[in-house]
Amino acid sequence: MHSTSTPTHCPYCALQCGMNVLSGPGAPQVEGRADFPVNQGALCGKGQSAAAVLSSRVRLTEPLVRSPATGRLEPATWEAALDAVAEGLSRTRTAHGPDACGVFGGGGLTNEKAYALGKFARIALGTSQIDYNGRFCMSSAAAANQKAFGLDRGLPFPLEDIPRTDCVILVGSNLAETMPPALRYLTELKARDGKLIVIDPRRTRTADQADLHLAPRPGTDLALALGMLHLVVAEGRVDEAYVRERTQGWAQTRAAAMAHWPEYVERVTGVPLPRLRAAVRMFTDAEHAMILTARGPEQQSKGTDTVGAWINLALATGRPGRPLSGYGCLTGQGNGQGGREHGQKADQLPGYRKLTDPAARAHVAEVWGVDPDALPGPGRSAYELLDALGQDVRALLLMGSNPVVSAPRAAHIEGRIRSLDFLAVADVVLSETAELADVVLPVAQWAEETGTTTSLEGRVLLRRRALTPPDGVRTDLQILHELAARLSADSLEKKFPTDPAEVFDELRRASAGGPADYSGITYERLAAGDAVFWPCPADAEHDTRGTGDNGSTESTQSAESTESTSDTEGTASTSDTEGTASTTHTGNTTGTPRLFLDRFATPDGRAVFVPVTHRPAAEEPDAEYPVHLTTGRVVAQYQSGAQTRRVPELNKAAPGPFVELHPRLATRLGIAEGDDVAVVSRRGRAVAPARLTATIRPDTVFMPFHWPGAGRANTLTNPALDPTSRMPEFKVCAVRLERPA
C-alpha cells in the first residue's frame, strides 16, 4: 500500500500529461490524473511505465571518471568528478579561449535548468557555443511563426479547442504513435462530425482516422501547400475581408502561389488533383478550421518555408486569431518550448529575447549582475556545434541529450565527439554518448526534484518533487553551482542557486517584458491550479483568475464567448517591444490561453504573408540511391531511447529497429518479411529487419530512430540545414536497399 500520492507530470513528450507518483513501501508507481484536462487520467505506455527508470538497477547512482591507467569509466567521488570537469573546462578555456568550450543541452530539462545552463555558458564559461537538441524539434515552425505572427508558441490555443473546430489539416504528425493521449481530441472531433485531413507519406494509425489522407512524396509538402493555396485563389475561396483587415504581404504571396499550377503540384507530390481539390473544399467549407504541423514538414532543409506555406494557407482562409481556428505546431519534446525560451538556444536570452538586441542584453545582464558587453554573441546552431567538436570546440559539457543516436549523420558526429579533448556528461543513465565521456555525472530525475516545464500549449506546469534521489545523485542545479565555484575565484556560485524556486523567481525577472513573459507566474500560482499560459506579465489583469457572472470559477466557458467579451470582462492586451498578443481568460485558466484574438504580435498588429516557392529536397533519389528514406518514432520508445530502452515492457513492445517498405518494392528487390535489409545513403549504412506494409508509398522506406548500433537510422540522415532555422533534413534523403552479405 502506497502512503503518499504527489501530483506531477509525465517526463516524456510535450503533452506533459498529469500523473500522480505513488510512494511508500515498495517501488514507486504512477497513475494518470483525471483532474488534469489534457489527458484526463489517460497515459500512454511510456507514461504508465515512467517509474521503472527511477530504479537504481537501470540508472546511474555514482559519478564516473575515465581512468588514465585503464581507459575505462570508473566510480569516483563527487569532489573528484567535479574537480575533473572544472579542470577540463578551465584547461581548454585557458589554452584556446572561452569559445573552445561548448555546452549542449536538452529539451527535457526543466525551465529552471535550461535557464541556469544558458546563464552558466554565458557568464561562468563566457562562451557563445551553446545550443540544444530542441533545435532538432520545432525550430522551423518557430522561425515561421516569428515571421508570420511576431511570436512563437507551439499552439496559440489550448488543445481543448481542437475537437470543437470543424476541420483539421494535420501535416506530418502521427499522434497515435507520438502522443497517444492526444488522439482523443481527433476522436472527439470526428464524433462531432468534424473533418480530419492527414498529410503523410505513410498511412499511419493516425491517418486511419482521417476523412481524407494525402500521401505526398517525402520533401514535397511545400509544393502541396502552394498547390492548395493556388486552388483557394482560383476557386474564389480567399477570405478577402480578413486578408484586407488583419494581414499584409498578400499580393506577393498570391503571385508566388499562382505560379504553382495544380497539375505541376500533382506531378511533384504524387497527390492526384481530385484529392487536392477535395482537401481544399473540405477545409474552406468549414466554418472553423485549423492547420497543425509537426516534424514531417519541419525537419527539412526548407522547413521554415514549408511551415510558412501552411501558415499562408491558414491566413488566406481567415483562420489565425479567430476562435476555434488557426495554425499551430505540435511540439515534441517535454520542454522543447521552454527550453528555447529561456536561454539554451544559441541566439536567444531568457524571455525569448534576441541575443543581438542591445535592450535585451542590458535587461538580462542587469538581472544577472554582469556587464552587458561581457555577454558573448550568438553561437553555432546544434548541428554546426556538434560538427565543430574536436576542432574549434575542444571541450563539451552536455546535459540531457544523446547525440550519438539522435544527431543527423550520426556516425560522423560520434567521431567528432570522440575527437574532443574533454567531454563531461550529466545524465540519468549511461547513454551511448555518456559512454564516451571523460566524466559522467548522475543527476536526479523528474520525480526527484521540483521544477517547471512548458507544454505544447504554452501552458507552464509545476512538476513536484515526490521522491528523495538515491545517495550519490545530485541535481543539475547543484552541479552548475559547484562548477561555478570551481571556475571562478569571486564567489560566482552565488549566481547559481540550487533551489528551483529561487531560480524560477530569477527567471521571472529575466523574462519580464519579453515575448515569453513569465513574470506573473509563481510557484504558488502553479500549485493552486494547472493552467497558466504565457505570456503572463505581472500585472493586475493576469493576477486575477477568470470568473463567471456569479463570481465563481468556471471551467466550461466556450471560446466563442470570449470573442465578444470586452476588455473589462476578461480580455486584455499585453505589449512588449516586438508587438502585442491578445489575452483571453476562460474559466479557471490564467495567463494567455488564446493568442492573437485582437491583434498579432507584430509592430502594426497584422499577420505577415511570407511568399515562398517550392524547391527540391537537398538530396533527391537518383540512379545510385533511388529510394526516399523518412524517419520517425514508434509508440513504445521515445527520442534516442536512452531511457525507454531500459524498460522491459517497452522493449517487448518495440524490441529493435526495422525497415518499413512496400511489398511492391520488396518484391522487386527480392526481400521477404523479416529479412535483414541494408539501407545505404551517402553517409553510411544501417541494417535492420524488413517490415512489409502497403501503408507506405512504394518509392519510400521508413525507419524509426530510437536505436544505436547497426540499426541506427541517423547514420543515414542528411545534415543539410534550413538557412533560417538551421534544422537538419531528418525527414528525407536518398538511399538504396541491399541484401547484407
Residue 650 sits in a domain whose CATH number is: 2.40.40.20
Residue 388 phi/psi, 5-degree rounding, is -90, -5
- Are 132 and 178 in a shared domain? no
**Model pLDDT, residue 331:** 85
- Residue-level pLDDT at 209: 95
Residue 558: is its pLDDT beyond 60? no
Distance CA 104, CA 122 (A): 13
Max CA distance (Å), the chain: 76
User: Is 29 within a domain?
Assistant: yes
Q: Check whether residue 319 and residue 264 sit in a common domain.
A: yes
pLDDT of residue 170: 98
pLDDT of 339: 87
pLDDT, position 530 = 63
Q: Are residues 486 and 544 in the same domain?
A: no
Q: Are residues 291 and 164 in the same domain?
A: yes
Domain co-membership, 719 together with 684: yes
Verify that 390 and 437 share a domain, yes or no: yes
Q: What is the pLDDT of residue 556?
A: 28
The reply to whether 48 and 74 lie within a common domain is no
Which of 305, 329, 353 is where one domain is finished?
329
Domain limits at 21?
4-54
The CATH number for 294's domain is 3.40.228.10
Examine the pLDDT at 569 and tell me if it is beyond 70: no
pLDDT of residue 551: 25
Residue 567 has pLDDT above 50, yes or no: no
Residue 399 lies in a domain: yes
Report pLDDT for 568.
26
What are the residues whose beta carbons fall under 8 Å from the beta carbon of 71, sequence distance 6 or more? none
The answer to whether residues 92 and 84 touch, using CB atoms and an 8 Å cutoff, is: no
Q: What is the pLDDT of residue 559?
A: 31
Q: pLDDT per residue over 22-76, tens digit each?
A: 998 889 999 999 999 999 999 999 999 999 999 988 999 999 999 999 999 999 9
- Is residue 621, in this structure, part of any structural domain at all? no
pLDDT at residue 548 greater than cutoff 90: no
| Residue 79, C-alpha cell as written in the block | 569532489
507 in any annotated domain = no
Beta strands in 564-683 (DSSP E): 571-576, 579-584, 590-591, 607-608, 627-632, 659-661, 676-681
Distance from C-alpha of 532 to C-alpha of 543, rounded to nearest angstrom: 10
Beta bridge partners of residue 728, listed in sequence order:
721
Residue 564 lies in a domain: yes
In angstroms, the CA 726 to CA 326 distance is: 25
Tell me the average pLDDT across 329-357.
92
Instruction: For residue 201, say if its preceding peptide bond is cis, omega within 30 degrees of 0.
Output: no
Which three cell numbers, joined as nine digits, stand for 333?
519534446
Instruction: Please write the tens of the pLDDT for every residue from 470-519.
Output: 999 999 999 999 999 999 878 899 999 999 999 999 999 999 999 999 99
Mean pLDDT, all residues of the chain:
92
Q: Is residue 509 part of a domain?
A: no
pLDDT of 563 above 80: no
How far, rounded to the nearest angstrom, does the alpha carbon of residue 669 sit from its chain's CA centroid?
37
Per-residue pLDDT band at 640 (split at 50, 70, 90): very high
pLDDT at residue 590, rounded to an integer: 83
Quote the number of domains for the chain.
Answer: 5
Same domain, 131 and 165: no
Segment 377-398 mean pLDDT? 98
The CATH number covering residue 469 comes to: 3.40.50.740
Pair 120, 176 in one domain: no
The C-alpha cell of 600 is what?
A: 498579432
555 pLDDT band, cuts 50/70/90, is: very low
Residues 342, 370, single domain; the answer is yes
Please tell me the predicted confidence (pLDDT) of residue 541. 59
Q: What is the pLDDT of residues 122-151, one digit of tens each?
A: 999 999 999 999 999 889 999 999 999 999
Domain end among 329, 345, 361: 329
Same domain, residue pair 322 and 183: yes
pLDDT the model gives residue 588: 43
Q: How many CB atoms lie within 10 A of CB 296?
A: 27
For strands 627-632 and 700-704, give the pairing. Answer: parallel
**Domain membership flag for residue 149:** no
* 686-738 residue pLDDT tens: 999 999 999 999 999 999 999 999 999 999 999 999 999 999 999 999 999 99
Q: Are residues 658 and 707 in the same domain?
A: yes
Show which of 281, 301, 329 is a domain's final residue: 329
In a domain, 59, yes or no: no
Phi, psi of 69 (to 5 degrees): -75, -45
Interval 429-469: pLDDT, tens: 999 999 999 999 999 999 999 999 999 999 999 999 999 99
Dump pLDDT digits (tens) for 195-248.
999 999 999 999 999 999 999 999 999 999 999 999 999 999 999 999 999 999
Closest residue by Cα to residue 393 from 368, 372, 420: 420
Task: Supply the CATH number for residue 38's domain.
Answer: 3.30.200.210
